[in-house]
Amino acid sequence: MATTGESPLPIMGTTQESPLPKSTLSPFTLVNSVFLMVGSGGAALLLRIYFIHGGQRIWLSAFLQVAAWPLLLLPLSFSTKKFNLSLFIYFVFAFIGIFWALDCYLYALASSLLPLSTSSLVICSQLAFTAVSAFLLVRQRFTPYSFNAVVLLTIGPAVLSLGEGSDRPEGESKGKYIFGLLMAVAAAALAGFIFASMELMMRRGKVVQTYAAAIEMQLTISISGSVFCLIGMIINKDFQAIRREAREFGLGRTKYYMILIWDAVFWQLSSLGLVGLVSGASSLFVSVMIALTLPLIEILAVIFLHEKFSASKGIALVLSIWGFISYLYGEKRQSDKAKKVAQQEPVTRAENELSSNELT
């Protein structure tokens, strides 16, 4: 995000690739929104299928959320300039990667103890945590429309939780169920802090918004997070347990490995979209998109996991769509207003110069 009137810093941007406009309606943000929604929906579903049919390795599940980073090397190879970030940004995002991996562990732990619909609706509470973090860290401005979107997208999961009966998995103790809820809330809170921190560091580092820069930021996070999770897997002896778990998996050995592979791919797609949206829009917009993914996950849960689609889920769907439309409408009004001001500035300047000349 280069400052007005200045060229991008050589170590931050690229002369061959033009910075992309920072807008929630730009092609950059629209593409990354699709990445986030498709990736999040597919990854959450596959992770729950893994646990339902006998998977038990939490550190392995966390590792899958960051492990597919080599896939990012292919699109990055087409970039006309490598190393689009400063050393400071690389270091900061490597540090963020550790917290990202910890958040992945908390999410995996929650997913192992809760139904997909329950864990997803609790995770969506990160919208509130992101709103608070964004206000404190990056001084996020709230318009009536964005505030309305936050309220609606926060009420949606609450309505869903109030409308559901006891969905505790059969054979699971009440203590483990409550522990799963607490881990989901902790994951949501940490995610909200991470999103706002990423936006803050991008602003301070004056990161130029290009596709290559977004990929490099995600690559740095994923490599750092992978190392952290690998250490956890080694300590927990996950590598020794994978073959046995594949042999005993309810859907068979082949599907076990396919689920792990595609889960990693979907997670990387989701993460790339997430980082791209923080760079191209804001941390709050990322949370809005994640909350909008909730209805998609609910539908996937109904189709593939045979969970019931109740009236409360229908209400949550309507509220989520309403909140998303409210946010986009507010963004469009802000964009139109900014364009109008930009168009009036030359006219106002010319009028002032004319008045000044007449006085002299």
Question: pLDDT tens for residues 288-327?
Answer: 788 778 777 878 887 887 776 667 667 777 877 787 777 7
**Is 39 in contact with 271 (CB distance < 8 Å)?**
yes
pLDDT at 9: 32
* Mean per-residue pLDDT, 166-189: 79
Q: Indicate the pLDDT class of residue 13, thresholds 50, 70 and 90.
A: very low
Between CA 298 and CA 87 the distance in angstroms is 41
pLDDT tens-digit readout, 79-135: 777 777 888 889 999 999 999 999 999 999 999 988 887 788 777 777 777 777 888
* Residue predicted with more confidence, 91 or 6: 91
pLDDT at 1: 37
pLDDT tens-digit readout, 135-168: 888 777 777 877 887 787 777 666 756 655 456 6
pLDDT at 62: 96
Q: Indicate the pLDDT class of residue 347, thresholds 50, 70 and 90.
A: low
Return the SS3 of 20.
Answer: coil
Indicate the domain borders of the chain. 27-324
Closest CA to 77 of 211, 226, 276: 211
pLDDT at 277: 85
Mean pLDDT of the chain: 80
| pLDDT value at 346 more than 70 | no
Closest CA to 69 of 173, 216, 211: 216
pLDDT tens-digit readout, 14-65: 333 444 445 556 777 888 888 988 998 999 999 999 999 999 999 999 999 9
Which two three-digit tokens encode residue 85? Answer: 């970030």
pLDDT tens-digit readout, 237-295: 999 999 999 999 999 999 999 999 999 999 999 988 888 888 777 777 887 788 778 77
* Mean per-residue pLDDT, 63-81: 87
DSSP string for residues in 55-115: ---HHHHHHHTTTTGGGGHHHHHT-SSS--S-HHHHHHHHHHHHHHHHHHHHHHHHHHHS-
Return the SS3 of 162.
Answer: helix
* Residue predicted with more confidence, 314 or 193: 193
